[in-house]
Structure 1
Amino acid sequence: MSDRVLSLEDPQLRIICAPIQDVTNHEFILENERLKVALNVFRAERGFGRGIAAPQIGILKR
């Protein structure tokens, strides 16, 4: 599974994100895994990358 990383111009990156309430929540755990996979795919495709924020792959949480 891979996610498209949104570009800086994408208006979705300007949305105020909801805070995470429970880091043990199953949904949070799955979203965290999506972040890891997306970063690994990005690194493999481009040869660089240190971190990724949830909104960059459409997870509107902070």
Structure 2
Amino acid sequence: MAMPSEQDDASDAEDRRVDEIVRRGPSGAFAVAGFATAIVVAIYFAFYFFAYLPRGAVQ
């Protein structure tokens, strides 16, 4: 059976690991969001330059 001090040490180590992961966490989410936004903007410009502009003015 584990002693209470050993459980406290393990709990403290786990808390430190979780804090480190949380501190680094949002950077990956921001990278994915930025990449997705860049793809949407690229698709918009591709549509604009290859589909909208060649049609010219509609009368």
Query: Is TM-score (shorter-chain normalized) higher than 0.5?
Result: no
Q: Which has the higher contact order (CA 8 A, sep 6+)?
A: 1
TM-score, with normalisation over the residues of structure 2?
Answer: 0.38
Larger Rg: 2
